[in-house]
Amino acid sequence: MKYRPFASYVGPMFLSLLVVCLVLPAVADERGEGKLDPSQPQGITVDEIIQKFAAKEKQFKIAREQYTYTQDVTIQTLDGNTVDGQYHQVSDILFDDSGKRIEDVTFAPQSTLERVTMTEADYDDIRHRLPFVLTSDDIGKYQILYVGKQREDELGTYVFDVAPKEMQKGERYFQGRIWVDDHDLQIVKVYGETVPQVHNPKHPEKENLSPKYTTWRQQIDGKYWFPTYTYAEDTLHFSGGQDVEMRYIVKYKNYKRYGAKSRITYEGQEISKGDGQQPSATTPPKQ
């Protein structure tokens, strides 16, 4: 996200920032969560939980690539309670006749954002980083710390804090907290940010900051938990003292398996059956 000078808010300096999303208010983030119980799991070890949910994350990642869905993105700048700029785009994530993944923009009114400008990095973050996935291929890159057990609406969950062990140049990672359903052993919610956070007051155009976000998942086809809602809201503090209050809302909906006769397999076994979206046991904030 690039910063754009705006007379009533900033001085003449041009600043730049890559932004994924924004900090979720504590009230929204805590909605539906019970008291955190730090006791150890019963009947299963922490390492077994990690290995099992990471394996299912890999299956889920493969399965989601075989689904079509609608992605609805709203990004707003706020002046107090007033929205003074908005970017809104609705896209259908589909397949063309050759089976290649495509994005078909179905609604995109003229952006009224004046204090910030969307960049290609923002679009890439929305597509690939907000719906965070932690597979068996990736767990070696992260420190995964068991925090305890917690109710998430109707679900019992295991809670883990996640952070990269080290950061390779040019790579971006997730850092935050994940909730794993204690029955299906799948991630049902994440809260955190994309790292590294790059601060460069002398060269603001090189800054790369990524405020915190929450992504909720719902169970699709009675088997896998797909991301359906991301929310973030915070005041972004640009170098030079310029502050911009913003809100992100991203909805992923209308999941449908591609092709009535298609089969999704992983290690020789079919991993997804049925069709249509099932009710969720977790509840994102109402907007």
Mean pLDDT of all residues in 258-272: 54
Residue 68, domain member (yes or no): yes
| Strand ranges in the chain using DSSP code E only, listed in sequence order | 2-3, 67-79, 82-95, 101-107, 116-117, 142-152, 155-164, 173-181, 187-195, 213-220, 224-237, 243-257, 265-266, 269-270
pLDDT at residue 31 is higher than 60? no
Instruction: Give the range with max mean pLDDT: 31-35, 89-93, 200-204, 263-267.
Output: 89-93
Contact 193, 28 (CB under 8 A): no
Under the banding of pLDDT at 50, 70 and 90, the label for residue 274 is very low
Q: Per the structure block, which two tokens stand in for 98?
A: 């050759």
**C-alpha span between 55 and 283 (Å, rounded):** 25
Q: Per the structure block, which two tokens stand in for 147?
A: 């925090």
Query: Higher confidence at residue 155 or residue 122?
Result: 155
Residue 278, domain member (yes or no): no
- Domain of 34? 2-269
pLDDT of residue 244: 81
pLDDT digits (tens, 9 = 90+) for 84-95: 999 999 999 999
| Amino acid occupying residue 31 | R
pLDDT at residue 155 is higher than 50? yes
Residue 282, domain member (yes or no): no
Residue 277, domain member (yes or no): no
Contacts of residue 254, defined as CB under 8 A and 6 or more positions apart, other chains included, come to 68, 69, 70, 277
pLDDT digits (tens, 9 = 90+) for 224-246: 899 999 999 887 777 777 788 88
Residue 283, domain member (yes or no): no
Query: For the chain, what is the domain count?
Result: 1
pLDDT of residue 186: 96
Share of the chain above pLDDT 70, in %: 75
Residue 23, domain member (yes or no): yes
pLDDT at residue 46 is higher than 90? yes
pLDDT of residue 5: 59
pLDDT at residue 8 is higher than 50? no
Least confident range from 103-107, 144-148, 171-175, 226-230: namely 171-175
Residue 279, domain member (yes or no): no
**C-alpha span between 154 and 152 (Å, rounded):** 6
Residue identified by tokens 């976000």 is 213
Produce one character per residue of 226-259: b if its CB has 16 or more CB atoms within 10 Å, e if not. bbbbbbbbbebebbeebebbbbbbbbbeebbbee
Residue identified by tokens 């809602």 is 229
